[in-house]
Structure 1
Amino acid sequence: MIDIHSHILPAIDDGSRNLDMTLSMLHMSAVSGVTDIIATPHVNRGGHVPSWQEIEEKTAQVAEAAKRAHLPIHIYSGAEIELNGDVLRFLKEGSWDYCLAGSPYILLELTDQSQSDMAERLIYELQLRGFQPVLAHVERYEQLMNHPDVLISWAKKGILLQCNIGSFTGYFGHHLQQHVEDLYRNHMVHFLGSDGHRTEFRTTDMREGHDALRNLQQKQHNQQDLWLETTQNASRILNHRVLYPDVPDYWQVKKKGLWQRLFGS
């Protein structure tokens, strides 16, 4: 597994508090089958934009510490960038600063206040500058999940979608679990991430999520091995190759059970 979304860098955002916690988080990742992980600290949240140099230096420090601790995991630099007009100021054409693992792929976060039409215009401008947009934890965005036709339209325009593996376990609540199951049913999950923040909660341990994916595959009688497929997709980020996923023409709704069909509830 390649974890493309994590907050493992120490003392830079609301993630890891210190290097010891970071190493514990990396140990959790490794034992859950993660071979590669991208550090994606928050950028532009509340207007705070840590320098790319700081992110790269911290990533190098963590990689060296992990090597000394004999942790079998590769660590790359990146960022999770809040999408608003400021991104056009510090994301420059021809520069892959704040991108994932030195590639053109860039992880973008919407907010509850993000308007779909405005977000789409900003993303399009980033695409014109050569960036490949990836939407972080798309299952959280009600403004998109309530309008799946918009989501499909975005995907057809080259916007890729990442989900948090914890959403498949119900960690973030039944509502988000329903969202990721709908996305899975429609083959609209391109990448997975732990979105790991700490060792006590929202961890980088993906084992329970892996089990949830296997159970979901059996439940939906779906042949899609999402763990394997998203790992293969993420390898394209590390190898700086373009991903062209198949996008459905329409949104497939969940079939109602017998009780729901008889009584409408």
Structure 2
Amino acid sequence: MHDIHSHILPSVDDGAKHIEEAVEMARIAEANGVKTIFATPHYIEGEGYKNTEHNKKVLDRLNEALKVENIGVKVLLGNEVFITPDIVKLLEEGEVSTLNNSRYLLVELPMFNMPIYTEDIIYELRLKGIVPIIAHPERNTKIMEDPNILYEFIKLGALAQLNLTSLIGYYGESVKKTAEILLKHEMIHFMGTDSHSHKSRALNITQGIEVMSKIVGYHKVDEIINKNPLAILNDEEININEPKRYVRKGKIRSILEAIVGR
């Protein structure tokens, strides 16, 4: 199992406060069957976040500490980059990192709106050979209202990462319902804990996997937690199933009534 979204890197964002906490997060992850953690510290343009060079040094210290503690989890570098028109520039200047220096970049959307330039950014990244992975789309209110927004992003070449804790109601019923819809409609390709500490989110990995397996089955779960993340590790192309458009139940009924003339 591989966690592609974690704030385990200490003292660089609102995640682990110190290396001891980061070590404990890795210990818990290993106990839950996680083999690889992608450290994805926040990067918001103009907010003073640390760049890739700094984060690499912190990562090296963390992996050394894990060796000392005999923890077998490997932590790799990435970022969770808040979407901006300058995202390609940030990559080219070394401010932000793709996941393990691969073609895959974790991109965060605002929670309460959808930037008008989002599709343009996806297109621009794809032209550069970068595959954007949308972080926790189930938490974006616009996607909650219309899951087909994510459908269009995927058709443009983006992928998507689900927070496991969304499936157990951590963020509320609306987010949970949206997570289930996205899973059922082939719009989720990776999982992440989005863990910020050794408490709460980091402790619910097994429970989240169990819920996911009930929704899409073990074969699909294996694809999401093992097969696709391994493609990131090896910087390989991921062949995904065609996403399915979401049609609300009320809309289906209206269409059927129109067909039968009722």
What is the TM-score with the length of structure 2 in the denominator?
0.88
Taking a change above 3 Å as real, the CA distance of residues 136 and 90 of structure 1, as seen in their structure-2 partners, is: same
Q: Cα 1:252–1:64, aligned 2, differ >3 Å: closer, same or farther?
A: farther
Q: How many residues end up aligned between the 2 structures?
A: 250
Q: Alpha-carbon deviations, 1:148-191, whole Å to 9, x = none?
A: 33321211111000010001111111111101111111121100
Deviation at 1:239, TM superposition (A): 0.5
1:236-260 C-alpha deviation (Å, 9 max, x unpaired): 00010011211234225469xxxxx
1:232 is the counterpart of 2:231: no
Contact 2:122–2:156 (Cα < 8 Å) also in 1: no
**Alpha-carbon distance in structure 1 between the residues aligned to 2:5 and 2:203:** 10
* TM-fit CA distance, 1:224: 5.4
3-state SS of 2:116 partner: helix
Counterpart in the other structure of 2:63: 63
Q: Are the aligned partners of 1:8 and 1:196 in contact in 2 as well (CA < 8 Å)?
A: yes
| Residue of structure 2 equivalent to 1:242 | 237
Q: Is residue 118 of structure 2 the alignment partner of residue 124 of structure 1?
A: no
Give the 3 Å change call, closer, same or farther, for CA 31–45 of structure 1 in structure 2.
farther
- What SS does the corresponding residue of 1:47 show, helix, strand or coil? coil
Structure 1 residue runs of 4 or more that deviate by more than 4 Å after TM superposition: 252-255
RMSD of Structure 2 on Structure 1 (CA): 2.2
- In structure 1, distance between residues paired with 2:36 and 2:122: 27
The code of the aligned residue for 1:228 comes to D
Question: Would you say the 8 A contact 2:81–2:96 is kept in 1?
Answer: no
Aligned to 2:184: 185
Task: Give structure 2 stretches of 5+ with no counterpart.
Answer: 251-262
2:46 equivalent to 1:52:
no
Q: Describe how 1:4-153 pairs up with structure 2 within 5 A.
A: 4-44=4-44, 47-92=47-92, 98-112=97-111, 114-153=113-152
Partner of 2:198: 199
Q: Work out the CA distance in 2 between the residues paired with 1:104 and 1:242.
A: 9
For 1:163 and 1:254, the matched residues in 2 are separated by: 23
Query: Conserved in 2, the CA contact under 8 Å of 1:107 and 1:134?
Result: yes
**Paired residue type of 1:153:** E
> SS of 1:139's equivalent?
helix
- The TM-score, its normalising length taken from structure 1, stands at 0.87
- Kindly provide the amino acid, as one letter, of the partner of residue 41 in structure 2: P
Give 1 or 2: higher helix fraction. Answer: 2
Q: Secondary structure at the match of 1:122?
A: helix
Which secondary structure does the structure 2 equivalent of 1:3 belong to? strand
Deviation sequence 1:20-76 (CA, Å, 0-9, x none): 100110011001110111000001266333111111111111111111111111110
Please tell me whether the aligned partners of residues 135 and 160 of structure 1 are also in contact (alpha carbons under 8 angstroms): yes
Paired residue secondary structure (2:4): strand
Greater alpha carbon shift after TM alignment, 174-183 vs 225-234? 225-234
Contact 1:63 1:75 in 2 (8 A): yes
* Distance in 1 separating the partners of 2:79 and 2:223: 23
Counterparts of residues 205-224 of structure 1 (less than 5 Å): 205-214=204-213, 216-217=214-215, 222-223=216-217
Percent identity (aligned):
31
Check conservation: 1:145, 1:151, Cα contact below 8 A. Answer: no
Is the CA contact (8 Å cut-off) linking 2:44 and 2:82 kept in structure 1?
yes
C-alpha contact 2:12 2:49 (8 A) present in aligned 1: no
